[in-house]
Amino acid sequence: MRRTLATLALTALAALAPAAVSAFPEDGRPVTIIVPFSAGGTTDVSARLLAEFLEPELGVPVVVVNRPGATTQIGNAELARSEPDGHTLALASLPSLAMTYLDEERQAPYDRESFTPIAHYISGANLLAVLAGSPFEDVNDLVAAAKESPRTVRMGTVGLMSNGHLPGVALEEETGAEFAFVHFDGAAPLVTALLAGDVDVAINGTQTTIPHIDAGAMRAIGFFGARRTAFLPELPTIREQGIDLSAPSSFAVIGPAGMDPAVVEELSAVVGAVIARDAFQERLTALSLESEYMDPAELEAFWSDFDARQARLIALVREEQ
């Protein structure tokens, strides 16, 4: 009897085996998502949320590992070195990742070809914030002032060559205006500087700006996204204000180069299914984040577009120096 059961089980397994497209995920072997930032940040939180929902779908543990440092270069390098079997992935911040290999001065041990696009996950953008009493009512006021007397309008960013700096450079390139950039270390000192009047305008994230807008201390005059954000629906994009420019930033699930296309498709589909779920969306909204799914092919196209734009801006900054 026992023997028959065992045989039955084996037959059943054998029958199932051809149904599985590939050997992924290997039974009981965890999938690791490398987060190239420290624990507690936006990237980390969104990776952990994704991991929580991916785990039941994949049927193996999904572990988030923080490998912070060198503007994501350390985590990215680790991903590039890892086995392309689908068990090691990373949540990449596209602007940061692209920056590390597009700027040759950084001597990153990898390039675009070291990675496999899997799924676009989160889309966001910075905004332009001014004090409530500022004379700038919209982006065109700001640009006009910076054109009239170049390099006098002080524009604060969250860091040199950062995701907050390059949109400002793009604005200069597109309009011919010249700003006096002041680079801070992150959002907290930037917000302080804007409140103190040490800068005239700040390129900052929605999360850290909205509380000050609600308090009546700041105003937003333009959004760098390709479309408006649900968190500030009244705020027009820069493009809507007649300047042909958008500078969205993305979190995407990526893997090392050389992955089996079938595994890539399977992973991407699972991520897409998770993102589509209401329970997931609810949690994401609570974190003030907006999702945008793209399949591997769409992400690849988006990524090369992004690289081209980013490379031009980096070259512009390096030229100025």
Instruction: Kindly list the residues in this chain that would bind another protein in the complex (CB under 8 A).
Output: 38-40, 65-71, 73-74, 77, 103, 105-109, 151-152, 154, 160-161, 180-185, 188-189, 191-193, 195-196, 198-199, 207, 210-212, 214-215, 217, 286, 317, 321
Report, in Å, the least distance between residue 192 CB and another protein: 6
| Cα–Cα dist 118/253, whole Å | 6
Report, in Å, the least distance between residue 191 CB and another protein: 6
Tokens of 122: 């989160």
Q: Which is nearer to another protein, 13 or 286 (CB)?
A: 286
Residue for token digits 């984040």?
A: 289
Q: Which is nearer to another protein, 61 or 68 (CB)?
A: 68
Tokens of 277: 């779920």
Tokens of 222: 């333009």
Q: Which of 267, 268, 223 is nearest to 248 (CA)?
A: 223
Other Cβ atoms within 10 Å of 221 Cβ, number: 22
Burial class (CB in 10 A: 0-12, 13-18, 19+), 134: middle
Report, in Å, the least distance between residue 48 CB and another protein: 10
- Chain centroid, CA 144 distance in Å: 31
Report, in Å, the least distance between residue 51 CB and another protein: 13
Angle between the N-to-C axes of helices 206-214 and 187-196, in degrees from 0 to 180, rounded to the nearest 10: 30
Q: Which of 305, 312, 263 is nearest to 112 (CA)?
A: 305
Q: Which is nearer to another protein, 72 or 237 (CB)?
A: 72
Q: What would the DSSP string read from start to end of 78-103?
A: HHHHS-SSSSEEEEEEHHHHHHHHHS
Q: Which is nearer to another protein, 7 or 192 (CB)?
A: 192
Report, in Å, the least distance between residue 7 CB and another protein: 45
Report, in Å, the least distance between residue 5 CB and another protein: 41
Burial class (CB in 10 A: 0-12, 13-18, 19+), 272: middle
What is the CA angle 83-86-89, rounded to 5?
A: 85
Q: Which is nearer to another protein, 36 or 296 (CB)?
A: 36
Q: Which is nearer to another protein, 44 or 266 (CB)?
A: 44
Q: Which is nearer to another protein, 150 or 236 (CB)?
A: 150
DSSP state of 114: G
Q: Which is nearer to another protein, 29 or 151 (CB)?
A: 151
Report, in Å, the least distance between residue 12 CB and another protein: 39
Given the DSSP bridges, would you call strands 201-204 and 218-223 parallel, antiparallel or unpaired? unpaired
Q: Which of 186, 157, 193, 151 is nearest to 172 (CA)?
A: 151
Report, in Å, the least distance between residue 207 CB and another protein: 8
